[in-house]
């Protein structure tokens, strides 16, 4: 290993440690005092409930841990969006668990909470995964009700999805372990099986205070909607649990009885670790997003035995297309080559840029993977499509559109790893969030933006200075530098991996060494859902 490798490794590991430090704070939810208060009430915390429910010594991945990060500060913040979402194994069955965190504003729903819950349901529906709800929520966060209540992708969509999943035969299990009020009361009752914890769980459309105000009836919450009421009188819930662990044990027993389902049939053989150590990724990746590196070195750290079979290796070299194995699963890889290459005509092509020949190659490869029923992995480190008269005259828009068409119409599951840059239309062509990847994750140093920070800052500064000039104000060099610095800092903050993860543009920021686990668990989940559509590119300009 050379000195530059060591420098890169140190800097990149430092970035990962910063992410891990932030995650440690996020996982404290509303703070240690509030967590302890839950325990004193006889409850487990949201994360304790999930840990108890999951099979011991089994793999799991958390979706949306950074949701809400540095958002809603004027309301006291909303760590992890006030809800914990994990994909893992319960009684040997892969499923997705959604647990309200009552330490965060009593589990109330902020706008990002609704978005995260819908994302969890989307994953369950796409992959036909059983979904388990651990309910402990005060309902909609009223100061922001206009941003969570009425729209298509707001609170009510949750119950619509409950009904849709039921019709699809997707298992839904709910345990009411705390408050479950107003519209939220429908969620557990629209599940296949619902249980409630005695004394701490309650379900009602309106609590005792609202009942008193609305109809003048005086009644306590336990009599109104406690466990005994709903298990013995209303019949709303199926089981009464004595405490949290009893409810979670019952869920485990239910999952033990679940029969097998039809599989998609993705190919898997014995798994072998890469010959190249995945930890080497930290030394391969440059610290500056503008520097070059060889993407083949990254692929060798991810795939089984560090072996792959490349498609059209001498054509369209700015995108690498190859079939390989990840944890035994057959995969097709579409990756941006990040070092300069020469095309067949001897012309130099910039790393991370999509050219016409590369887009054409990727389109054909994606079609082949769909024909062979091979899941697709996109390794994104892209600055966009090539610009300029030569590219425009060569039909870059047409070839780029073909690639976007292929990504859009692909019927095999897609998984996106943002390893570095994710800029502009390159984000789209390389299967950004808008193109329905089953999972999309970022490495700690990833940047997501419409264009690179330096270029964007210069454009925005020029616009601002032009506006000032129209007002008769000339900008000095010192003022120019100050404007540029202010814009750069603001823009750079918006491109950071944590900014994207906070808004659920990505599902997680992951340790690059965990990439294989995320891909493998993602394909295993996708294998629960047989492919029912046919790949069809539709009308394209050839």
Euclidean distance between the first and the last CA atom of the chain, given in angstroms as a whole number: 46
Pair 226, 283 in one domain: no
SS3 (DSSP) at 112: helix
CATH code of residue 514: 3.90.226.10
Q: Are 334 and 366 contacting, i.e. CB atoms less than 8 angstroms apart?
A: yes
Question: Given a cut of 70, is residue 338 above it in pLDDT?
Answer: yes
Quote the mean pLDDT of the chain.
92
pLDDT at 454: 65
Neighbours of 278 (CB within 10 A): 18
Structural domain includes residue 9: no
Separation of alpha carbons 161 and 190, rounded Å:
10
pLDDT at 526: 98
239-241 and 319-326 as β-strands: parallel, antiparallel, unpaired?
Answer: unpaired
pLDDT digits (tens, 9 = 90+) for 111-161: 999 999 999 999 999 999 999 999 999 888 888 988 888 888 888 899 999
Structural domain includes residue 227: yes
Question: Given a cut of 60, is residue 13 above it in pLDDT?
Answer: yes
Q: Average pLDDT in the 444-468 region? A: 73
Pair 42, 83 in one domain: yes
341-342 and 348-349 as β-strands: parallel, antiparallel, unpaired?
Answer: antiparallel
Is 0.75 topped by the overall pTM? yes
Structural domain includes residue 4: no
Structural domain includes residue 188: yes
Q: Which range (18-27, 338-347, 423-432) has the least confidence?
A: 338-347
Pair 239, 322 in one domain: no
Q: Are 515 and 302 contacting, i.e. CB atoms less than 8 angstroms apart?
A: yes
pLDDT at 452: 63
pLDDT at 487: 72
Pair 387, 524 in one domain: yes
Structure tokens at 28: 């404290």
SS3 (DSSP) at 494: helix
DSSP code for 206: S
Pair 251, 300 in one domain: no
pLDDT at 392: 82
* pLDDT tier at 457, thresholds 50, 70, 90: low
Structural domain includes residue 64: yes
pLDDT digits (tens, 9 = 90+) for 240-251: 999 999 999 999
Could you give phi then psi for residue 538, rounded to 5 degrees? 70, -150
Beta-ladder partners of 378: 334, 416
Q: How many domains does the chain have?
A: 3
SS3 (DSSP) at 449: strand
pLDDT at 183: 64
Question: Which runs of consecutive H residues, i.e. helices, occur in 79-129?
Answer: 111-127
Q: Which of 439, 455, 440 is nearest to 495 (CA)?
A: 455
pLDDT at 315: 96
Q: Which range (191-200, 403-412, 430-439, 532-541) has the least confidence?
A: 532-541
Q: Which of 535, 533, 528 is nearest to 369 (CA)?
A: 535
Classify residue 267 as exposed, middle or buried by CB count within 10 Å of its CB (0-12, 13-18, 19+): middle
Q: Which range (278-292, 315-329, 352-366, 454-468) has the least confidence?
A: 454-468
Structural domain includes residue 18: no
The per-type count for the chain, helices as H runs and strands as E runs, is: 20, 20
Separation of alpha carbons 273 and 483, rounded Å:
50
pLDDT at 12: 97
Structural domain includes residue 541: no
Residues 6+ apart with CB under 8 A from 451: 384, 423, 424, 459
93-100 and 508-509 as β-strands: parallel, antiparallel, unpaired?
Answer: unpaired
Pair 250, 343 in one domain: no
Pair 178, 78 in one domain: yes
Pair 417, 461 in one domain: no
Structure tokens at 132: 């388990």
pLDDT at 44: 97
pLDDT digits (tens, 9 = 90+) for 473-494: 777 777 777 777 777 777 678 8
Q: Are 316 and 365 contacting, i.e. CB atoms less than 8 angstroms apart?
A: no
Neighbours of 253 (CB within 10 A): 10
Separation of alpha carbons 222 and 209, rounded Å:
13
Q: Average pLDDT in the 96-118 region? A: 95
Per-residue three-class SS string for 460-475 = HHHHHHHHHHHCCCCC
Per-residue three-class SS string for 392-442 = HHCCHHHHHHHHHHHHHHCCCCEEEEEEEEEEHHHHHHCCCHHHCCCEEEE
pLDDT at 38: 95
Domain boundary residue, one of 257, 289, 323: 257
Pair 483, 513 in one domain: no
Domain that holds residue 470: 452-495
Pair 217, 314 in one domain: no
pLDDT at 541: 60
Structural domain includes residue 542: no
Question: Which runs of consecutive H residues, i.e. helices, occur in 78-235?
Answer: 111-127, 156-168, 186-189, 208-215, 221-225, 227-228
Pair 113, 194 in one domain: yes
Q: Average pLDDT in the 504-514 region? A: 98
pLDDT at 542: 57
Pair 193, 178 in one domain: yes
Separation of alpha carbons 485 and 49, rounded Å:
46
């Amino acid at each position: 290993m050379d000195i530059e490798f060591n420098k890169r490794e140190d800097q990149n590991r430092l970035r990962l440690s910063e992410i891990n430090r932030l995650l440690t704070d996020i996982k404290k939810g509303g703070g240690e005092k509030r967590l302890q208060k839950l325990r004193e009430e006889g409850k487990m915390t949201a994360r304790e409930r999930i840990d108890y429910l999951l099979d011991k010594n089994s793999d799991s991945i958390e979706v949306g841990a950074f949701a809400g990060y540095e958002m809603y500060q004027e309301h006291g913040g909303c760590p992890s969006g006030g809800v914990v979402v994990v994909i893992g194994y319960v009684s040997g069955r892969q499923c997705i668990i959604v647990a309200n965190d009552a330490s965060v504003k009593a589990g109330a729903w902020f706008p990002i909470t609704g978005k995260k819950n819908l994302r969890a349901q989307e994953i369950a529906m796409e992959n036909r995964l059983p979904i388990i709800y651990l309910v402990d929520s005060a309902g909609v966060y009223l100061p922001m009700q206009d941003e969570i209540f009425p729209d298509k992708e707001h609170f009510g969509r949750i119950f619509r999805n409950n009904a849709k999943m039921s019709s699809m035969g997707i298992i839904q299990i709910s345990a009411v372990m705390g408050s479950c009020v107003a519209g939220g009361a429908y969620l557990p009752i629209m599940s296949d099986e619902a249980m409630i914890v005695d004394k701490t769980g309650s379900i009602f459309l309106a609590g005792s205070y609202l009942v008193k105000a609305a109809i003048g009836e005086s009644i306590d919450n336990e009599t109104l909607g406690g466990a005994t009421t709903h298990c013995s009188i209303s019949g709303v819930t199926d089981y009464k649990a004595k405490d949290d662990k009893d409810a979670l044990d019952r869920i485990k027993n239910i999952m033990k009885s679940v029969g097998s389902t039809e599989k998609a049939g993705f190919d898997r053989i014995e798994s072998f670790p890469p010959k190249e150590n995945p930890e080497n990724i930290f030394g391969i990746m440059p610290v500056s997003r503008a520097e070059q590196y060889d993407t083949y070195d990254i692929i060798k750290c991810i795939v089984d035995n560090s072996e792959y079979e490349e498609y059209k290796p001498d054509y369209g070299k700015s995108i690498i297309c190859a079939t390989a194995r990840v944890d035994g699963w057959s995969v097709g890889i579409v990756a941006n080559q990040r070092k300069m290459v020469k095309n067949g005509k001897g012309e130099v092509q910039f790393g991370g840029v999509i050219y016409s020949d590369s887009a054409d190659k990727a389109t054909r490869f994606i079609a082949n993977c769909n024909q062979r029923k091979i899941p697709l992995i996109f390794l994104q480190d892209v600055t966009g499509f090539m610009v300029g008269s030569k590219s425009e005259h060569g039909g870059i828009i047409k070839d780029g559109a073909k690639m976007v068409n292929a990504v859009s119409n692909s019927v095999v599951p897609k998984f996106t790893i943002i390893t570095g840059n994710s800029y502009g239309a390159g984000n789209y062509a390389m299967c950004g969030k808008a193109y329905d990847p089953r999972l999309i994750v970022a490495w700690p140093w990833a940047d997501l933006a419409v264009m690179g920070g330096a270029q964007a800052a210069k454009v925005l500064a020029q616009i601002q200075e032009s506006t000032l000039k129209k007002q008769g104000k000339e900008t000095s060099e010192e003022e120019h530098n100050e404007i540029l610095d202010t814009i750069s800092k603001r823009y750079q903050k918006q491109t950071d991996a944590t900014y994207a993860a906070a808004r659920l543009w990505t599902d997680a920021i992951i340790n690059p060494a965990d990439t294989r686990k995320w891909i493998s668990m993602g394909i295993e989940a996708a294998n629960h859902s047989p492919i029912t559509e046919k790949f069809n590119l539709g009308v394209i300009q050839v």
